[in-house]
């Protein structure tokens, strides 16, 4: 649930919105070190959200059902956050007839 926070913080620090899933930003130049660090931390948090339940299952602390539900639940929450950010992004459409 905290996985997208580094990207959100980095984009507010850098004052430009970068493409959430690529290494390019709106201005076409190279990403800054803050953006690179935020993407690295986000990737680490996403992988640990999948690896931690698998590790707990491997050490017999949780059962297989809990492992599957934890992984699927984390992916659903993260997917919802990505969709929310994508849906409410500041990019305007080319065919905006009503100028909202």
71 in any annotated domain: yes
User: What range defines the domain where residue 52 resides?
Assistant: 5-87
* 40 to 5, 7, 45, 47, 67: CA distances (angstroms): 12, 9, 9, 11, 25
pLDDT score at 99:
53
13 in any annotated domain: yes
Identity of the highest mean pLDDT range in 69-73, 75-79, 80-84, 85-89: 69-73
> What predicted TM-score, i.e. pTM, was given to this entire model?
0.63
Phi, psi of 31 (to 5 degrees): -70, 150
Cβ-count burial of 32 within 10 angstroms (0-12 exposed, 13-18 middle, 19+ buried)? middle
29 in any annotated domain: yes
Q: Residue 18 in contact with residue 93, Cβ under 8 Å?
A: no
* Residue 19: both structure tokens together: 């493409």
Q: What is the number of structural domains in the chain?
A: 1
């Amino acid at each position: 649930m905290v996985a997208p926070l580094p990207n959100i913080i980095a984009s507010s620090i850098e004052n430009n919105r970068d493409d959430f899933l690529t290494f390019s930003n709106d201005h076409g130049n190279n990403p800054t070190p803050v953006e690179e660090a935020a993407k690295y931390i986000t990737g680490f948090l996403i992988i640990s959200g999948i690896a931690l339940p698998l590790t707990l299952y491997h050490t017999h602390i949780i059962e297989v059902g809990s492992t599957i539900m934890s992984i699927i639940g984390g992916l659903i929450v993260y997917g919802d956050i990505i969709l929310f950010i994508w849906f409410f992004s500041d990019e305007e459409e080319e065919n905006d007839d009503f100028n909202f």
